[in-house]
A and B are shown apart, each in its own frame.
Chain A
Amino acid sequence: MSLLAFFEWLGDSSWSTGLHESQYAYSIIESLHVWAMAVFFGTIAMVDLRLLGWTMRKVPVTEVAGRLLPWTVTGFVIMVMTGSLLFLAIPLRSYQNIFFRSKMILLLLAGLNIWLFHRGIYRRVFSWNLEAMPPVRARIAGALSLALWTGIVVSGRMIAYNWFDCDRQPQTAIINFLTSCSGTGP
């Protein structure tokens, strides 16, 4: 079964139509998504800024990470749960949406950045824990994290707009390629 057929099937399920047609469910879930985003983005940004040496310069990096990241993880878990429901409500359109796709790619890159950071310079964190200005590899990880999550938030917000949707033809060939649209309609 192709992804397209799968998401078509998913969109016809009672779960999906129930969410889609409910008067309040979608709005409430989206509000939770935004609220969790604020907690997630805010706390990870503070950790990133510490890695950049731009805030809490006197506080050990492990303490900033240890005390703030549980909030970041909580926000992330709520975002994944609510985000999955938002996707479930309109699976096919989301799958073909250019901003949804860029968001997923940026999410993968953000995950990769975290993994590389923990595999690399963070293993030796106790040698630079107290430095006001962490080593350059930690600063790069912090800057990349800020840039990627900024791109993810912006992409996420833009999913709501239909400028590049399949049912709005004609689109340029590159757009139809990036959204897997046939170019002749939805």
Chain B
Amino acid sequence: MSLLPFFQWCYQTPIAETIRNSSWLFPVIEAVHLLGLGLTVGAVLMVELRLLGAGLNRQPVSQLAASAQPWLLGAIAIMFASGIPLFMSEAIKAYYSFAFWVKMTSLFLVLLYTFTLRRRLTRADAGANPALPVRLMAAIALVLWFGVAWGGRWIGFS
């Protein structure tokens, strides 16, 4: 089954049309999305850098993860609340954009990691020098987040 009809439906919703017909709505929502990106990366880095052994190494991972969690959830909420309307306003362009699919795939994988495997990693409390597999996983997560940000920016260029 093709997803195209769903994307067409998104494109035709009143929200999407309102954004397209306004000269300032898209830029303003986009600016909020960009700030959300910064906050997301901050909340992510706090934990992933620690898992890499390149962050607050003297602190227990579990405690850092607990400190970062409300900010991570808040930032992700901002990203979805601003990103979904942006997507709807140009859903058909997104459907044919390679960057959009790179972004969605990376996003799905990294969120899956963050809310499953990472919870176990942070509960296990790696020492000051985390084991190689833990560091590797954190590095992969950062590459995926990079893919999300890169894909997002590149949707605008394509």
Contact = CB atoms under 8 A, between A and B. Distances in A.
Given A157-B27, A157-B30, A158-B31, A55 B45 contact: no
B129 to A, nearest CB: 15
A146 to B, nearest CB: 10
| Secondary structure class of chain B's binding surface, majority of residues | helix
Nearest to A26: B157
Nearest to A42: B42
Contacts of A38: 37-38, 40-41, 149
A51 B68 CA distance: 15
B14 interface: no
B44 A31 contact: no
A61 to B, nearest CB: 12
Contacts of B37: 34, 38
B49 A71 contact: yes
Query: How many of chain B's residues touch chain A, expressed as a range?
Result: 20 to 34
Contact of A161 (B27, B149, B153): B27
Given A27-B154, A35-B150, A157 B34 contact: yes
Contacts of B55: 67-68
A19 interface: no
A57 interface: yes
Nearest to A35: B149
B13 to A, nearest CB: 24
Contacts, number: 96
B149 A34 contact: yes
A56 interface: yes
B154 A57 contact: no
B146 A35 contact: yes
B130 to A, nearest CB: 15
Nearest to B146: A35
B18 interface: no
A181 B63 CA distance: 54
A46 interface: yes
19 contacts: A31-B153, A35-B146, A41-B39, A41-B41, A42-B40, A46-B45, A46-B46, A56-B64, A56-B67, A63-B58, A67-B49, A67-B55, A67-B56, A68-B49, A68-B56, A71-B49, A154-B35, A161-B27, A163-B23
Interface of B: 23-24, 27, 30-31, 34-35, 37-46, 49, 55-59, 63-64, 67-68, 71, 146, 149-150, 153-154, 157
